[in-house]
Chains A and B, each alone.
Chain A
Amino acid sequence: MSSSVTMPEPASFGRRLKRFMADRPLIPLIILLIILVAILQVLRPGIVNERWIANTAKFAIPLAILAGCQTMTMLTGGIDLSVGTVATMSAFIMATQIVNQNPTVAFILAMLPAVLIGLVNGIGVGVFRVHPLIMTLGTSLIGTGFLQVYQRTVIASGASIPDFLNWLGTGLTYGFPNALFLFVPVAALIVFTLNRTGFGRLLYAVGDNERAARLSGVRYWQVITALYVISGLLAGITGLLYIGLIKAPSLSLAEPLVLPSVAAAVIGGTSIFGGRGGYMGTIVGALILTVLTTLLTILQMPEGGRRILFGFIVLFVTAAYLRIIEDR
């Protein structure tokens, strides 16, 4: 009779490897990170030392926290584009209020807009069902506007960076950046929240199938409002950390971190459609982006070329990663 078509043998090495990676999505990311560091070391022998690592961590941490905001909102199928503005506002208010307020009051004043913007985002998305992209973009613009008005009122008083934030942003303890004192608990809390608390479960459930969550008794607006308030808070804290690192308050301080924070979450395997992802991947994603930036910097390319390359690499990494962890 006719010839038979025998399809490929099951469980070849490649497939097994793929399966292994699909089950542990962190591993390919960590491998990528190591490869990038290795390339860096080859291009500039000796660059990868203790100081470089501490420095990379310092810059990766604010990005990673903001990417945490993106991870959590993306799990529900949302996004928070206001994190940059929120971080900038907290930083700016802190730096200007510390001049003639006691630190606690300055801190509270700095966190106020963060919570407020988070609340408005949450109500807009959760109650009035505005698309999160539009909602957070809107509040972000409004926030920037307010900040400009505010700047004029404090222009005379000047600004300074509180010592504590200096210490947190740039200081080292036994070679470790002090920012880790903030980051480790925050990261642990986010991971714990996502995996082990009812709220975390609801983020995933709501993002995966809102109707199903509703039929199980979940009130969407509650979850979403709480989520965006938390996101605002985290962004505000990041702003304080970031001002300690950058030391120059400006009206667009944290703005350049917004899109990389989204990219870090996506590279880390969180789906922008909701329901899938986690914070560990995001942290590695933030590290990858930070190392990549260093790498492109030492290549001494013109800024334009660097950005183009950066964009391509992000696209490529994300696509490749999805192919690895998606199995059919």
Chain B
Amino acid sequence: MTTNPLPQNPLLDATGVAKNYGAVAALRNASLSVLPGEVHALMGANGAGKSTLVKILTGAIRADAGRILIRGEARDVRSPAAARRAGLLPVYQEPALIPDLDVLSNLRLTGTPVEPFRAWVRELGIPNLDIRETARDIPLAVLRVLDLARALAVEPDVLLLDEMTAALPANLAEKVLEVVRRQGNSGRSVIFISHRFVEISALCDRATVLRDGATVGVVDIEPGVEEKIVEMMLGARIEKTSVAAARTASEAPTVKDSHPRLSVRNLQLGTKLHDVSFDLANGEVAGVVALEGQGQDELFAALAGSIRPAGGTIAVDGAQVRFSHPSDAIRAGIAYVPGDRTEALAMQRSVRENIALPFSAAFRKWGPIKMRRERWVVSSAVARLQIDTRAQGEVRRLSGGNQQKVTIARWIAADARTILCFDPTRGIDVGTKQEIYKLLRELAGLGKSALFYTSELEEVQRVCDRVIVIFGGRVVDTFPVELADEPALMRAAYGLPRGARQDVGILADVRPDAEAAP
């Protein structure tokens, strides 16, 4: 877009937008200008005010000050319906379908045409959606796609996507990017929020950068601009630690004892998990790589004691266990950070109570709380994860990324020996991501272990020692991280053999079950 010859009039032009929540200034002076046919990135650290701006532009909340022009006309967008009439349609950061209704009723509720919706759902890589299914039972990644399809179905002029791809595994994210790019090509505009630079550079024409509620710059996306953006976002440089280096250092003191920390054999569960076996050693971070719905959700839930497996065994420190409730797993030192943060957080309670929740869980901990000690433990976890606590009275008031950090901080504060992280960095900004990678490596250095599912393949090389690939409910491959460059991971995730280094067509239908067990 740098070489755009015609000076175009912006389709959407917002200036001086401000929003205060009491003492918290969510936005101070934000501006954003989007041209027709442009894919415009909105970037900023967690809590910078991106979601707030999107909500203001689409009438979900009212700004305290500011001017919004749509096609050059001043519009006071008072409600989501008004925004929709003006051609603005959002996909908010949190799933928007009403959990207790089925998909079809949800569509009716918003007056979304069903057939185009279905077409978009298929287009976005979900071939067999049951439109009668209750939203509550649909996995988060699919819900996000449905949100997008619902927006696309009414053909908006400006589509506002707030961390649309954050919960999506690579295959679905790819589809979304494709669709968004086509929107741009057909003259519609997209405002795209993401913490993944890969996506920004592949997709966007320009980026507006927010810091502390104010727009600090607008840049064209061109090769090498990433560093500049990060600097604008955070107000400082960060170094991307290649954790591989840190790893060898931290690994040295760990004594490998005879029993693995966690040993899973032939785990089965319904139609989702057929045969999963692997070990997790003390001091190890094992990455789990899988496409959407390959059984990883069920695997994590089973290990966390949240659902009971139908077959197979789980052993902790060499002793076989049978978890009937998450508290059993927690007692064995296994903590679970679910992918969907609404599953983990008491939204109306404070940051502190949320982090300290596991402390009071056991019956013998029901008595008086040692407030001073709790405050100390909580605040060190908060500091460690750089949680923006300006709105800490209620977790629901935190920005999405900060909520996510609370789910992790809880188990850091509880000092869990093994953490099952399901996409823990979802929606977390680059700065804190580095911090979390470091944290995980540090824990590993202390002899703790982590199982780390990520939808962002790039992360595997950053934190993991070993990769476990799951496909169709089976472990199809495990290999050391040195071999795990992104193409290799991608191929593996699709269930293709690792040996075939040459370009294997994605069409090849190979399922190497033989390589399963380690």
Query: What is the interface of chain A, defined by CB distance below 8 A to chain B?
Result: 1-11, 19, 22-23, 192, 196-199, 201-202, 204-205, 208-209, 211-219, 222, 226, 275-276, 327-328
Contact of B327 among A3, A197, A219 (CB under 8 A): A219
B348 close to A202 (CB less than 8 A): no
Beta-carbon contact of B366 and A199 below 8 Å: yes
Pairwise interchain contact A10-B64, C-beta atoms closer than 8 A: yes
| Smallest CB gap from B65: residue in A | A7
Known: A7-B65, A216-B330. 17 other contacts (CB 8 A): A2-B74, A7-B64, A10-B18, A10-B20, A23-B22, A196-B368, A199-B367, A202-B361, A205-B357, A208-B347, A216-B326, A216-B361, A216-B410, A218-B360, A219-B327, A226-B366, A275-B347
CA distance A302 to B9 in the complex (A): 70
* Nearest opposing residue in chain A for B75, CB measure: A5
- Neighbouring A residues of B76 by C-beta, 8 Å: 5, 7
Residues of chain B from 38 to 68 with CB closer than 8 A to chain A in the complex? 61-68
User: In the bound complex, do residue B64 and residue A201 qualify as a contact, i.e. CB atoms below 8 Å apart?
Assistant: no
Q: List 9 A-B contacts (CB under 8 A).
A: A2-B69, A7-B64, A192-B368, A205-B357, A208-B349, A211-B343, A212-B343, A214-B306, A215-B343
Most chain B CB within 10 A, of A199, A217, A276, is at A217
Contact B361 A217 (CB under 8 A): yes
**What chain A residues lie within 8 Å of B245 (beta carbons)?**
none
Return the chain A residue nearest B365 by Cβ.
A198
Contacts of B244 in A (CB 8 A): none
| Residue B376, interface by CB 8 Å | no
Give the size range of B's interface with the partner: 35 or more
A9 and B66 CA atoms in complex are apart in Å by 10
Asked whether, in the complex, the Cβ of B367 is within 8 Å of the Cβ of A218, the reply is no
**In the assembled complex, which residues on chain A have CB atoms less than 8 Å from the CB atom of B325?**
214, 217, 219
A218 B349 Cβ-Cβ under 8 A: no
Compute how far the CA of A318 lies from the CA of B321 in the bound complex, rounded to whole angstroms: 51
Are B66 and A7 interface neighbours, CB within 8 A? yes
**In the complex, A99 Cα to B261 Cα: how many Å?**
66
Determine if B22 and A275 form an interchain contact, defined as CB atoms under 8 angstroms apart: no
Which residue of chain A lies nearest to B66 when distances are taken between CB atoms in the complex? Answer: A7
Indicate if the CB atoms of A213 and B336 lie closer than 8 Å. Answer: no
- A192: chain B residues within 8 A (beta carbon): 368
Complex CA–CA separation, A2 to B410 (angstroms): 51
> Judging by beta carbons under 8 Å apart, are B67 and A5 in contact?
yes
A1–B69 CA distance with the chains assembled, in angstroms: 10
Across the interface, name the chain A residue whose C-beta is closest to B338: A215
Residues of chain A with a CB closer than 8 A to B74's CB: 2-5
Name, among A6, A205, A213, the residue most crowded by chain B CB atoms within 10 Å (CB to CB): A205
Known contacts A209-B347, A213-B346, A1 near B360 by CB under 8 Å: no
Bound state CA distance, A196 and B366, in angstroms?
A: 10
Distance to closest chain B CB from A193 (angstroms): 9
- Please report which residues of chain B, range 347-374, place their CB below 8 angstroms from some CB of chain A when the two chains form the complex: 347-349, 353, 356-363, 365-369, 371
**A9-B65 contact given A198-B369, A217-B327, CB 8 Å threshold:** yes
Residues of B near A5 (CB, < 8 A) are 67-68, 74-76
- In the complex, what residues of B have CB within 8 A of residue A275's CB? 346-349
Nearest chain B CB to A203 CB, angstrom units: 10
Partner of B73, one of A2, A201, A208: A2
Q: Of all chain A residues, which has the CB nearest B394?
A: A276
Given contacts A201-B356, A205-B346, A205-B353, contact A9 B64 (CB under 8 A): yes
Residue of B nearest to A204 (CB): B349
Known A4-B74, A217-B326; contact A208-B346, beta-carbon cutoff 8 A:
yes
Given contacts A7-B66, A209-B347, A215-B343, contact A201 B360 (CB under 8 A): yes
CB atoms of B353 and A204 under 8 A apart? yes
- B362's nearest neighbour on chain A, judged by CB, is A217
**Cβ 8 A contact of B360, one of A10, A199, A226, A276:** A199
In chain B, what residue has the closest Cβ to A1?
Answer: B72
C-beta contact mask, B14-29 vs A, less than 8 Å → 1, else 0?
A: 0000101110000000
Flag B269-310 by CB within 8 Å of A: 1 or 0 each.
Answer: 000000000000000000000000000000000001010000
When chains A and B are docked, how far (Å) is the Cα of A328 from the Cα of B52?
12
Complex alpha-carbon distance, A201 and B362, angstroms: 12
- Are A196 and B326 in contact (CB-based, < 8 A)? no
Closest CB in chain B relative to A260 CB, distance in Å: 26
> Are A212 and B361 neighbours in the complex by a CB distance under 8 Å?
no
Distance in Å from the Cβ of A266 to the closest Cβ of chain B? 16
The reply to whether the CB of B344 lies closer than 8 angstroms to some CB of chain A is yes
CB contacts (< 8 Å) of B353 on chain A: these are: 201, 204-205
- Residue contact B72 to A2, C-beta cutoff 8 Å: yes
Q: Does B103 touch A at the CB level, under 8 Å?
A: no
Contacts of B348 in A (CB 8 A): 204, 208, 275-276
B367 touches which of A8, A197, A226 (Cβ 8 Å):
A197
Given contacts A197-B369, A212-B345, contact A202 B69 (CB under 8 A): no
B360 contacts A198, C-beta separation under 8 Å: yes
- Tell me which residues across on chain A come within 8 A of B359, comparing CB atoms: 198
B86 to chain A minimum Cβ distance, whole angstroms, is: 13
Name B76-106 residues within 8 Å CB distance of A. Answer: 76
Contacts of A217 in B (CB 8 A): 325-327, 330-331, 358, 361-362
Q: In the complex, A216→B348 CA distance in Å?
A: 16
B-chain residues with CB within 8 Å of residue A6 when the two chains form the complex: 65-67
From B20, B22, B68, B357, A201 is in contact (CB under 8 Å) with B357
* Bound complex: CA A276 to CA B363 (Å): 22
Which of A199, A212, A276, A327 is most buried by chain B, counting CB atoms within 10 A of its CB? A212
Q: CA–CA, A209 to B344, complex, Å?
A: 8
- Give the one of A7, A199, A215 with max B CB within 10 A: A215
Distance between Cα atoms of A205 and B354 in the complex (Å) = 8
* Nearest B-chain residue to A208, judged by Cβ: B346
Q: Could you tell me if B367 and A215 are in contact, using CB atoms closer than 8 angstroms?
A: no
B336 near A215: Cβ-Cβ < 8 Å: yes
Q: Which residue of the partner chain A has the closest CB to B344?
A: A212
A4 to B371, CA, bound (A): 51
Query: Which 9 pairs from chain A and chain B are nearest by CB?
Result: A198-B360, A208-B346, A217-B361, A217-B327, A10-B64, A199-B366, A217-B330, A198-B366, A216-B357
In the bound complex, what is the Cα–Cα distance between A19 and B366 (angstroms)?
34
Cα-based distance from A217 to B304 in the complex (angstroms): 10
Instruction: Report the minimum CB–CB distance from B391 to chain A (whole Å).
Output: 12
- Whether the pair B357, A213 counts as a contact (CB closer than 8 A) is yes
CB distance from A4 to the nearest CB of B (A): 5
Among the interface residues B21, B326, B343, B357, which one has the most CB atoms of the partner chain A within 10 A?
A: B357
Q: Least Cβ distance of B292 to chain A in Å? A: 22
A201 to B61, CA, bound (A): 31
Which listed residue (A199, A211, A216) contacts B358, Cβ 8 A?
A216
In the complex, how many angstroms separate the beta carbon of A21 from the nearest chain B beta carbon? Answer: 11
